[in-house]
Structure 1
Amino acid sequence: MGTDFLKLTGKRVVVAGVANKRSVGFHVARGLVEAGCEPIYIVRTDARRDELIAKLPRLAGTDAPAVYVLDVEDEAAIGPVCARIGAEHGPLAGLVHSIAFANYENGMVPFHETGRADFLQAVQISAFSLVELSRALKPHFEDDASVVTISISTTRMASENYGYMAPVKAALDSSIAFLAKSFSADSRVRFNAVRAGLLKTSSSAGIPGYLDSYLFAEMSILRKAALETREVADTALFLLSPRSSGINGQGLVVDAGMELNYFDKSIVAGATRPS
């Protein structure tokens, strides 16, 4: 087997949402570099850009990373930033959308008490930004480019400490099918989601009560070891590559078998016969 198995050598992919070295976006970017592909970074703030420029050469092996600042809440900025990326780095082989936000400043509340402003902000940042970025980058995509977003393993489980983000991620998941369909009218650009199980990231650390759920997930996983961010990133790399050309409009669950094992006898015993 050749060294360029993913067939990404010499290509360029936009990675939106690199927070730090623990984030999915960072692990995807590092995998792209290892595959001979150049990541083009989108971050939310100038401070994040400066931090990445300082750290990425050491962490990801890149000499002069291209980092663009774009707050996706600023609708007027999306078009110009994407046009600049396309002009300076196109054609683009793909986009990784690893952007999500929910306002938990006031703690977790029952879902029916979710505020309108908080919910709509989360939808805009976490779901509709995929539509906006894809639309703005469309003229700069290669004809067979691949777009991959990072979602969650299930939106049908009413996890109390995830709050309103599960319905928001459901909107993101549904958008995949509609984007795949609408882009198919004049291109072969593909859209897929990596539906990840619970991960230990900086963003998840801000969710009230997340740690307990993370530990329970580790107990539920068949191998009794937590899902690694790298494993989610590796799936995204596969979906970005031409090796996955037959996959479109799908969500691939990456949870190390967690959803199969909620009735593991040790978990059931712990819940029904506590010591």
Structure 2
Amino acid sequence: MDFLRLEGKNIVVFGLANKKSVACAIGRVLVEAGAKVIHVVRSEQRAETAAKLFPESPIFLCDVEDEVNIIRVRDEIAGQITEPIDGIVHSIAFANYSEGMRPFHQTPKKDFLQAMDISCFSFIAIANHFKEVLAKQASLVTISISSTRMAAENYGYMGPVKAALESSLCFLAKSFSAFSEIRCNAVCPGLLKTSASAGIPGYVESYLFAEQATLRKKAVQTSEAAHVAAFLLSPRSSGMNGQCLVVDAGMGMNYFDAAIVGKAVG
């Protein structure tokens, strides 16, 4: 039984980097559900990786930092498919930590604005430029984080950037409602074991702590976030719009876990 009703749906997935990417996990779930997955990646190297992981999927190049590329890839995709696009996954984030972590008040303006451009504005730009090739009831899904109100020092300015992303999806949902039934939602996972997260200073320690803070004492798996994304892309979530679904295995409600408190005061 095709519960998700994704069979034959055209879904464009932005952001695959390697097999550990959230975009890769989402792509796999969609393929299993019978969707026609189209991958959009940033570089030739990533295109080669995507082709190995998804040999049946069309692969396109797009560096979203230049908006002209978004328009170009839209036209390229539209030229290869005969039916509207039923869903778009925005799994793109970038922060320049090349100079190491700094206190938040010392965040370089150029780094903050670049992160906002790539990680947040690109979602708005993709939605805008793809709107004419989307199905009337298409679903747009972005990837955020489980909480933008927790000031994790080693995540730095990406917290406020993700907060802007979550706010933007609400405004997009409202804006698109004037001419369509297109929905915009977000999956907000807890700490995941991805190659991108491995580049964040001190992430491993935070990941291990987060695992112990979950109710089940087991870290959130990337596949679990992918399953929620597939649901949001499907007609089964038709009543949801402008929402952020947290996937953190209960971490956000477990501040006073007895084991963690015991280690802190013992």
Question: TM-score if structure 1 supplies the norm length?
Answer: 0.95
> In the alignment, what sits opposite 1:45?
43
Which of these residues, 248, 255, 262, is aligned with residue 269 of structure 1?
Answer: 262
Number of equivalent positions: 265
Match of 2:177 among 161, 176, 184: 184
Q: Deviations over 1:189-243 (max 9, x none)?
A: 0000001100000000000000000000000000000100000000000000000
Contact 1:44–1:71 under 8 Å retained in 2: yes
Deviation (angstroms), 1:54? 2.8
2:148–2:163 Cα contact (<8 Å) kept: yes
1:198 aligned residue (165, 183, 191): 191
**1:248 corresponds to which residue?**
241
| 2:154 alignment partner in structure 1 | 161
2:7–2:33 Cα contact (<8 Å) kept: yes
How many angstroms apart in 2 are the aligned matches of 1:95 and 1:12? 9
Indicate the SS of the match to 2:164. Answer: helix
* 2:226 aligned counterpart, secondary structure: helix
**Distance in 2 of aligned mates of 1:54 and 1:247:** 34
Tell whether 2:224 aligns with 1:231: yes
Aligned residue type for 2:62: L
Alignment-derived partner of residue 68 in structure 1: 60
Amino acid at match of 1:268: V
- Residue pair 2:39, 2:50 contacting (<8 A) in 1 also: no
1:65 deviates by: 1.7
User: Residues of 1 paired with 2:146 and 2:53: CA distance?
Assistant: 31
The reply to whether residue 107 of structure 1 matches residue 113 of structure 2 is no
Name the counterpart of 2:26: 28
8 Å contact from structure 2 (residues 17, 49) kept in 1: no
TM-score, normalised to structure 2, is 0.98
Deviation at 1:75, TM superposition (A): 1.8
C-alpha RMSD over aligned residues = 0.8
Q: Which runs of 4+ in 1 moved over 2 A?
A: 54-57
**Match status 1:77 vs 2:69:** yes
- Tell me the SS of whatever aligns to 2:38: strand
Q: Which residue of 1 aligns with 2:109?
A: 116
Contact 1:83 1:136 in 2 (8 A): no
2:128 and 2:77 mapped to 1: Cα distance? 13
Distance between the aligned counterparts of 1:47 and 1:19, measured in 2?
9
In 2, Cα distance between the equivalents of 1:212 and 1:110? Answer: 18
User: Where does the alignment leave 5 or more consecutive residues of structure 2 unmatched?
Assistant: none
Aligned-pair CA distance for 1:86: 2.0
Cα deviation for residue 26 of structure 1 reads 0.5
Q: In percent, how many aligned pairs have the same letter?
A: 57
The whole-number CA distance in structure 2 between the counterparts of 1:28 and 1:75 is 24
